[in-house]
Chain A
């Protein structure tokens, strides 16, 4: 199994509080991704990173920010959590693309279940 961990695994917080989720990898993969998963929506990309300090927005980035200061860590921050951000959050990692395509599989972390009251 790919070495990828997420912390915390479960979190309950209140509306308006800041929340930071951490993704840590030991595979030295270049790409890292944050997804949220909600019933009926599948996996939706929030932000991703293609290198240290190199990040880009996904399809549902509003209300979220990310940082990557080291290859192994990718942080997702909810500046002021809202109830609509209650979800399961997955981090994924991947090696570099090849020939202009996402050539390599993504390995997913175990997920973080976040509840915003």
Chain B
């Protein structure tokens, strides 16, 4: 059974700092890995999708990497802003369209 772990569970940083969120998964037989952002009580917004054959994806200040063989992904956020404060969720898709989520990292960026 696929298990996804996100570290740290919570992170508080000053504005402007670069930061890294970590995601690990137990079964490397994945189709893709997707990073989502969730604001309190709101829906999930897709940030980046990395196919299993890819190593990284970038969107603006966000960069996600994938090392499938070691079962790890990182989400790098450059020059953090208070508007980046949210919960970040990592999810992996395996065969049968099964999506397994981590518990998330709650990020607070302080002005």
Same complex for A and B? Answer: no
Which residues of B approach A to under 8 Å, CB–CB?
A: none
